[in-house]
């Protein structure tokens, strides 16, 4: 047992490649046999990943999903920010500049519209739940932007730890829902071309959510959505503790 | 050489991230502003330019394509390391805020996408 454990832990990234490979194989098998290709194999793989992450969080009490199990620690590296960003950038290879230019203005508008709309929705819900402190309302609104904007804003304007934790949870719900919901909703919102994908990335903003949601919808759209989504968190961190906080403070 | 493509990809990411970090400092934000997006633009420019031809063709290209193809497995690993338990523990407030933000944003996508299409679609087609 010790031998297996030490081999797995010492080669954890390689274990992760093998484990993810098996999950992908099972997912594509299920997608083809059970759903006759109607549900994308990668959508099933992502859903399995999220379920495993939930199980990992419950079983270990950690914050990094299944990678908190020592034997699967490599999943943390493989699915971490560094590898994710590297692979996202690689998807831009073969993208045509003309496609990017076509959605230029709509793409920029979508980033600001996305941040502001999500913020308002989150803030309104915080008020409906009885919050009256501007710092708390702003922080929860910022959490609905992304789970990074929430704590960055909360810490900057002095929100309580409990509120900051809530804002992270709201952002996580958003991110997970985008991963699962995108393939289901894609047809209804016309998400089948590079321009709409850029607007989609700007509206939703959560890089993880958009990255996984588009992968499960149509991998060809990934670079376009990811390109705008990666500006979203920065814009959110810019507006949250400044303009948006001032507006909320003036109202409450 | 495959590694030339990988090296070009790496250089784009590092440069883009550095630019995003500088942009964050200039804007007074504690975050990287669009580093990945800028890196993607750099790679698009490099792959469309004559100057970098030797780094983006034949075997060098397969070094970039490999990582592009690894994207979905990496995203699956990313899903598996999310803090799903915390999202579930967030209770009704976190759930409603997250769900409402997503639904309303989904609904607004077609409206904003129209802004782009309102701009002369004919000329765009002529360019191709």
Residue B50 lies in a domain: yes
Judge if B44 and B100 occupy the same domain: no
Optimal mutation site among B10, B26, B56, B78, interface A, most CBs of chain A within 10 A: B78
pLDDT of residue B119: 52
> Are B95 and A173 an interchain contact pair (Cβ–Cβ within 8 Å)?
yes
Shared domain check, B15 and B49: yes
Hey, is the C-beta of B67 within 8 angstroms of any chain A C-beta?
Answer: yes
Residues B77 and B99 occupy one common structural domain: no
Residues B66 and B95 in one domain: no
CB-closest option in A64, A93, A152 to B65:
A93
Residues B88 and B41 in one domain: no
pLDDT at A123: 92
Domain extents for chain A?
2-79, 97-251
Percent of chain B with pLDDT strictly greater than 90: 18
Mean pLDDT of chain B: 81
The residue of chain B nearest to residue A13, with distances taken between CA atoms, is B77
Residue A20's pLDDT band (cuts 50, 70, 90): very high
- pLDDT for the residue B123: 44
Residue B126 lies in a domain: no
Closest-approach residue (CA) in chain A for B41? A92
- B107 reaches A (C-beta below 8 A): yes
Q: Which of A53, A203, A212 sits opposite B84 (nearest CB)?
A: A53
B4 within some domain: yes
Q: Which of A54, A122, A233 sits opposite B88 (nearest CB)?
A: A54
Establish if B27 belongs to a structural domain: yes
- The pLDDT of A128-146, averaged and rounded, is 89
Is the same domain home to B12 and B30? yes
A-B contacts (CB, under 8 Å): 348
Same domain flag for B21 and B57? yes
Q: Which of A7-16, A238-247, B17-26 has the lowest mean pLDDT?
A: A238-247
Integer Cα distance of B81 and B92 in angstroms: 23
Same domain, B49 and B77: yes
The residue that leads in pLDDT, B94 or B4, is B4
For chain A, what is the mean pLDDT? Answer: 86
DSSP chain A: -HHHHHHHHHTHHHHHHHHHHHHHHHHHHHHHHTSTTSS-HHHHHHHHHHHHHHHHHHHH--SSGGGGSGGGHHHHHHTSHHHHHHHHHHHTTT--HHHHHHTHHHHHHHHHHHHHHHHHHHHHHHHHTT---HHHHHHHHHHHH-TTHHHHHHHHHT--HHHHHHHHHHHHHHHHHHHHHHHHHGGGGT--SHHHHHHHHHHH--HHHHHHHHHHH-GGGHHHHHHHHHHHHHHHHHHIIIIIHHHHHHH-
**In Å, how far from its chain's centre is CA A157?**
24
pLDDT in tens, A42-57: 778 888 888 898 899 8
Residue B127 lies in a domain: no
B50 and B11 belong to one structural domain: yes
Band (pLDDT 50/70/90 cuts) for residue B118 is low
Task: Tell me whether residue B91 is in a domain.
Answer: yes
B73 and B90 in a single domain? The answer is no
Least confident span in A89-93, A111-115, B122-126: B122-126
B35-57 pLDDT, tens per residue?
A: 887 888 899 888 888 788 777 78
Q: Let me know whether B69 and B9 are in one domain.
A: yes
> Is A54 close to B84, i.e. CB distance below 8 A?
yes
pLDDT bucket at A179, cuts 50 / 70 / 90: confident
pLDDT above 70 coverage of chain A, percent: 98
Enclosing domain of residue B39: 1-82
Check B79 against A226: CB less than 8 A apart.
Answer: no
What total number of domains does chain B contain? 2
Residue B95 lies in a domain: yes
Residue B117 has what pLDDT?
65
Average pLDDT for A201-216: 87
Residue B100 and residue B76 share a domain: no
Does any domain span residue B125?
A: no
Asked if pLDDT for residue B98 goes beyond 50, the answer is yes
Bigger pLDDT: A107 or B13? B13
B-chain residues within 8 Å CB-CB of A185? 106
């Amino acid at each position: 047992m010790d031998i297996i454990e030490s081999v797995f832990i010492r080669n954890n990234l390689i274990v992760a490649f093998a484990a993810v490979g098996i999950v992908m194989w099972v997912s594509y098998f299920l997608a083809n046999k059970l759903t006759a290709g109607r549900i994308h194999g990668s959508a099933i793989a992502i859903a399995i990943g999220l379920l495993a992450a939930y199980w990992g969080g419950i079983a270990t009490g950690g914050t990094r999903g299944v990678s908190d199990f020592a034997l699967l620690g490599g999943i943390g590296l493989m699915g971490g920010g560094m590898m994710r960003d590297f692979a996202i950038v690689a998807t831009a290879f073969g993208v045509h500049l003309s496609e990017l230019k076509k959605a230029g203005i709509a793409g920029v508008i979508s980033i600001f519209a996305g941040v502001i709309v999500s913020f308002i929705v989150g803030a309104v819900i915080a008020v409906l739940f009885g919050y009256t402190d501007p710092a708390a309302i702003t922080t929860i609104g910022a959490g609905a932007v992304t789970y990074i904007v929430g704590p960055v804003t909360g810490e900057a304007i002095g929100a309580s730890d409990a509120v900051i934790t809530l804002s992270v949870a709201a952002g996580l719900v958003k991110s997970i829902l985008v991963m699962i919901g995108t393939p289901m909703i894609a047809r209804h919102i016309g998400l089948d071309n590079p321009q709409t994908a850029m607007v989609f990335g700007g509206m939703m903003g959560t890089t993880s959510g958009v990255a996984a949601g588009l992968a499960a919808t149509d991998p060809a759209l990934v670079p376009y959505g990811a390109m705008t989504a990666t500006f979203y968190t920065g814009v959110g961190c810019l507006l949250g503790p400044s303009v948006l906080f001032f507006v909320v403070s003036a109202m409450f | 050489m495959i590694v030339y493509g990988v090296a070009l990809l790496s250089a784009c990411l590092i440069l883009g991230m550095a630019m995003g970090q500088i942009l964050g400092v200039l804007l007074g934000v504690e975050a990287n502003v669009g580093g990945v997006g800028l890196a993607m633009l750099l790679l698009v420019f490099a792959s469309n330019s004559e100057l970098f031809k030797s780094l983006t063709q034949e075997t060098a290209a397969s070094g970039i394509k490999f990582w592009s193809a690894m994207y979905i497995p990496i995203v699956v690993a990313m899903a598996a390391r999310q803090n799903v338990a915390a999202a579930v523990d967030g209770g009704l407030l976190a759930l409603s805020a997250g769900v409402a933000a997503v639904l309303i944003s989904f609904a607004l996508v077609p409206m904003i996408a129209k802004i782009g299409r309102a701009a002369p679609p004919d000329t765009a087609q002529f360019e191709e």
